[in-house]
Structure 1
């Protein structure tokens, strides 16, 4: 727990929101003059990682990389600072629910997430990614930002129905090497990322394809029951179970998924904005379709009283695969573990 932040910043911790592989996230208030208050989120690196220089560099690097990404579908970072416990950064506070919890709730009550809303969410995430992928430096050169961990945990949906990508903790630019590690969630990882090959924006497109597959079917595209080594091998071989998709899924959408999930990055979309355009055409081609208001209203009806705080007393059991480490957590594998795979 954070004991004291920089006195000059005047942040008051409200409560712990979540704790992940790299850091803990807190809800906080920024207190200013004349009674000014602003709710923010504070991300602090975990104590057990603070002694590793590479972990510190990754943590600080996330703040620097995302600082100038200003888009409605990306969680904004406001500041990077230090306190006695180490570095922390201040983010936009998203009042809502993670996409993972949103899908999870549908599974618990055995209800299918509406197809048009699943595609809408994927389209908005694609727009946020397209923005990040297109960023350039001061000299006009492409930055080549790749998120590298696109998954339902890292998409938040606020109370207004706006999906937002968060956690660029293992993001990189395409000039960076993998430095002997595979980082990310195997359940959503692109084959080339698992093989420790060079990645670019098309790796994020692949991961978003797995997320869309999950939203549409309520099932994972990959078998997550074997050992970690076997799963890693299957990811590298791009083994996918297409039978998990609904039999009546429109062929147009199946075609988009197959393009997103192509083994060879060259066979995927050549630009993330083209993917967003195709997804949007699918839901708007008849002249109308879902908006953030549609999604917000659906969430209020499905999850009254703060999106999930009033969940049914009796819920159906969820497939054990949805609770495995490869789905819930980011993994880091070193060279020895990779060679064994």
Structure 2
């Protein structure tokens, strides 16, 4: 059973499961399509705007009620679009309507971010397009992932915070960058890179719609780049030199993004495991998506980096053949399939796949952990060797050109 995914839309790509809403442009643009507006400026008691000096004439004592109210209203007007606390005035300057991250809100607690349209939402939170605003006309589009503090429990909150702390240190061209973690009175939020592109699932489904197969060279190129990112994550050390032992645990087509510039990126480390994680109970709870879980993962025997390679092998199988290996929706169904189902090699499903490449995929999805590729580096080298031996030389620009042929919005956003 494939996980639902929002289709790519005209406008911004499907980088974070984006929904179909109006397009947003940078704040520096004054076109009619500019839907991100700057927060309201301060309003002084004399009716003028700006931060000019106060009047040197003291107010009359005869009307004390009218003296206090304009000062309070000025501050309310100045801060009513912010979610950051105002020292000493917290009860006054946090209108209930504005204490929630939503389109039109402005976050100033960690910089200045103007929240735009909803990109997507899932069981644990929402993702919005946002614009970081700086001085002298600086503007940059970001994505903000939001989790409510109430309703999902302590475990969900700890996992969200773990994701931010963990991925904030992962700096690699094939991993979506996380910039900062913040919170409001009601929600936690992560500010992250916004990818103008589509998910790998969008790419697979687009080929299915067109009755075509994903070209072997582009499929291998995408997998090799994701293996680059995985190798980095699996070998990541902290600042004291300690190995973090990161395992993604949720590799699937929805969590692989392809920018319209032809750069594959791994995202969503929300259920990742590491030595610094505060939540690690995988022997009690099953994390991930059932169709892509490794046998040791669904069996609650613990995961390791080769569990990620197994999941990526299933993704590679689906990418090259267009067929989902395990169409399951729960633990019982998956365990039953793993015990009884025999997986056909990819070259028997798609005749365009050479047997050498088929063997690489089958080694990755071996049920025995010890029989799989020993590391992401070893699997990547096998894929790249196959490309070289068959005189296939796919490049980033070639993939970007190919995406422009498949998705109408790709040509527009490729150069953003």
TM-score, with structure 1 as normaliser: 0.84
Give the aligned partner of residue 315 of structure 1.
Answer: none
Q: 1:15 aligns with which of 99, 117, 120?
A: 117
Partner SS, residue 138 of structure 1: coil
1:137-216 correspondence to structure 2 within 5 Å: 137-173=238-274, 176-178=280-282, 180-216=284-320
Q: 1:85 aligns with which of 183, 186, 189?
A: 186
**Bigger mean CA offset, 15-24 vs 181-190:** 15-24
What is the CA distance between 1:6 and its match in structure 2? Answer: 3.6
Partner SS, residue 303 of structure 2: coil
1:311-326 correspondence to structure 2 within 5 Å: none
Q: Deviations over 1:134-164 (max 9, x none)?
A: 1112332321100000000001111110000
Give the aligned partner of residue 383 of structure 2.
Answer: 279
Give the aligned partner of residue 254 of structure 1.
Answer: 358
Tell me the C-alpha RMSD between the 2 structures. Answer: 2.2
Instruction: Say yes or no: does 1:290 pair with 2:394.
Output: yes
Label 1:193 to 1:238 Cα distance change in 2 as closer, same or farther (>3 A).
Answer: farther
Is contact 1:145-1:173 (8 Å) kept?
A: yes
1:58-137 correspondence to structure 2 within 5 Å: 58-137=159-238
Distance in 2, Cα, partners of 1:146 & 1:308: 36
What is the CA distance between 1:126 and its match in structure 2? Answer: 0.6
Is contact 2:258-2:264 (8 Å) kept?
A: yes
Distance in 1, Cα, partners of 2:412 & 2:172: 27
Distance in 2, Cα, partners of 1:12 & 1:201: 38
Give the length in aligned residue pairs: 306
Partner SS, residue 42 of structure 1: strand
What is the CA distance between 1:270 and its match in structure 2? Answer: 1.1
Give the aligned partner of residue 24 of structure 1.
Answer: 126
**Bigger mean CA offset, 230-239 vs 274-283:** 230-239
**Bigger mean CA offset, 68-77 vs 81-90:** 81-90
Distance in 2, Cα, partners of 1:219 & 1:281: 25
Partner SS, residue 174 of structure 2: coil
Label 1:179 to 1:190 Cα distance change in 2 as closer, same or farther (>3 A).
Answer: closer
Label 1:308 to 1:11 Cα distance change in 2 as closer, same or farther (>3 A).
Answer: closer
What is the CA distance between 1:284 and its match in structure 2? Answer: 2.5
Is contact 1:82-1:88 (8 Å) kept?
A: yes
What is the CA distance between 1:239 and its match in structure 2? Answer: 3.6
Is contact 2:176-2:266 (8 Å) kept?
A: yes
Q: Deviations over 1:253-279 (max 9, x none)?
A: 111111101111111111111111111
Instruction: Say yes or no: does 1:263 pair with 2:367.
Output: yes
Partner SS, residue 242 of structure 1: coil
Larger Rg: 2
Q: Deviations over 1:38-75 (max 9, x none)?
A: 1111000156644x111000000000011111000000
Label 1:285 to 1:48 Cα distance change in 2 as closer, same or farther (>3 A).
Answer: farther
Write 1 or 2 for the structure with the bigger share of strand.
1
What is the CA distance between 1:288 and its match in structure 2? Answer: 4.8
Distance in 2, Cα, partners of 1:256 & 1:174: 30
Distance in 2, Cα, partners of 1:31 & 1:119: 39
Q: 1:217 aligns with which of 306, 310, 321?
A: 321
Q: 1:234 aligns with which of 300, 325, 336?
A: 336
Is contact 1:192-1:236 (8 Å) kept?
A: no
**Bigger mean CA offset, 280-289 vs 185-194:** 280-289
1:39-58 correspondence to structure 2 within 5 Å: 39-46=141-148, 49-50=151-152, 52-58=153-159
Partner SS, residue 145 of structure 1: coil
**Bigger mean CA offset, 227-236 vs 26-35:** 227-236
What is the CA distance between 1:241 and its match in structure 2? Answer: 2.7
Is contact 1:191-1:238 (8 Å) kept?
A: no
Partner SS, residue 181 of structure 1: coil
Distance in 1, Cα, partners of 2:340 & 2:172: 32
Is contact 1:41-1:92 (8 Å) kept?
A: yes
**Bigger mean CA offset, 131-140 vs 37-46:** 131-140
**Unmatched runs of 5 consecutive residues or more in structure 1:** 310-341
